[in-house]
Structure 1
Amino acid sequence: MKQAGIYVNDVFCGILREDEEGFHFAYDEDYLTRKDSVAVSPTMPLTEHRYDKEMMFPVFDGLIPEGWLLDIASASWKIDRRDRMSLLMACCKDCIGNISVKPLSDE
């Protein structure tokens, strides 16, 4: 299972996981209690319920480079272009915008 910590405005907000069933995102309980917490996307409002999807969530998939930059990232890190979770974890630690992704160890 691959998993990554998701940060909004440099504040930990939840965990994104990939397993054989697809992708799962859940907001952190502490993040939900903060007055300044914001959703990662309008399509993923703040909730204590887990989001599940067979394919990568669009808000996270949109962070992954495209075109020639994807070619460079894929070749440099030897990651298959179709391995969206690995690309997200390798390329999106310091993205443009307010979302960042940091790999977590496998559990």
Structure 2
Amino acid sequence: MRQANIYYCDQLAGVLTEDENGYTFQYDTSYLSAEHPNAISLTMPLTNEPYHSMVLFPFFDGLIPEGWLLDIAEKSWKINRRDRMSLLLACCKDCIGAISIVPIINEE
């Protein structure tokens, strides 16, 4: 299982999880109860219910670099371009816009 904290303007908005059942995104309850929370995407409106998908949500997939930048990431970190979660975790900590992806390191 791999997880990442999703930040909106440096405020924890939720957690993205990849496991054997696919992907889950859950908004943080503190974020939802804030004075003026914003949805991270129009396709993922604010809700207490988790979002589930067998493939990486299009919003997150759209944050992954393309073209020559993807080639550099693929070669530098030796990540298969079909491993979308690894690319998201490696490349999107400081991406353009209000969203940041920060890997959660599970020490087992």
1:6 aligns to 2:13 (yes or no): no
1:85 aligns to 2:85 (yes or no): yes
Query: Which ranges of structure 2 fall in alignment gaps of 5 or more residues?
Result: none
TM-score under structure 1 normalisation? 0.97
How many aligned residue pairs are there?
Answer: 107
SS at match of 1:16: strand
Question: How big is the shift at 1:51?
Answer: 0.1
Question: How big is the shift at 1:105?
Answer: 1.6
Question: How big is the shift at 1:37?
Answer: 1.1
**Partner of 1:16 in structure 2?**
16
1:52 aligns to 2:48 (yes or no): no
AA of the residue aligned to 2:12: F
The 1-side partners of 2:38 and 2:89 are apart by 21
SS at match of 2:59: helix
The 2-side partners of 1:10 and 1:40 are apart by 12
The 1-side partners of 2:67 and 2:40 are apart by 24
Question: How big is the shift at 1:36?
Answer: 2.3
Question: How big is the shift at 1:89?
Answer: 0.6
SS at match of 1:76: helix
Runs of 4 or more above 2 Å deviation = none
Q: What CA RMSD, in Å, does the superposition of the two structures yield over aligned residues?
A: 0.9
Question: How big is the shift at 1:35?
Answer: 1.3
TM-score under structure 2 normalisation? 0.96
